[in-house]
Structure 1
Amino acid sequence: MLKLFRAIALIEGVTTIALFCIAMPLKYGAGNPVLVPPVGLTHGLAWVAYVLAMVVCLPGKGFTMWEVARTFIAALFPFGTFLNDGLIRRKQAALALRDAA
């Protein structure tokens, strides 16, 4: 399940980059807002999927309350999901070791 969550987090992060680094500069820098609605919608859906995936994928995986809060907070800041990936990757590796034993 953490593999699925990491994939959703990656998508959320990439859509954030697309919105902030492509769509919004085109809108405000070049006066061409055509990409903001589709990229914004895609990012919004990815964000909702990220939060829902937290609810489904994280329980029972050894996350402390702080780590769950940190994972949610990561979705509120640009590039936060990328910075939080190390935590998720370590939890995924620890679960794999636990399950192999």
Structure 2
Amino acid sequence: MLKLLSTFRVIAFLEGVSYILLLFIATPVKYLGDDPQYVKMLGMPHGLLFIAYVVIAVLISKDMKWSTRTLWVVLIAAVIPFGTFYIDKKYLKNVHA
């Protein structure tokens, strides 16, 4: 479980960074600068990281003894900017297997 948790923390960090880059850099450049290049570059990796985040969250939820409510909070955090960083700090950082 510890290895999957470590993987989840890395995926959560990368997903959060890719989401912030997509929202606050790539999208404004696309619409204000008429250049969709950055959205195309970041879109696919972010989508894959998002899917990996959701799948791994569901897989580790039993081992982490998360309630259904906690699992939903973890999943919803993936669609809120900076949400995955909050999840890491609140639910993942101090876990010892």
Aligned twin of 2:63 = 60
TM-score, normalised by the number of residues in structure 2: 0.84
Cα distance in structure 2, aligned partners of 1:27 and 1:9: 25
How many residues are matched? 94
50-59 or 11-20: bigger deviation: 50-59
Which structure has the greater CA radius of gyration? 1
Percent identity between matched residues is: 36
After TM superposition, what 4+ stretches of structure 1 lie above 2 angstroms from structure 2?
55-58, 87-91
Query: Structure 2 counterpart of 1:75, which letter?
Result: A
| Normalised TM-score (structure 1) | 0.81
List alignment gaps of at least 5 residues for structure 1: none
Q: 1:82 to 1:90 in 2, by over 3 A?
A: closer
Aligned residue in 2 for 1:33: 36
Contact 1:15 1:39 (C-alpha < 8 Å) held by counterparts: yes
Among 64, 82, 85, the residue aligned to 1:79: 82
User: Residue 63 of structure 1: CA displacement?
Assistant: 1.4
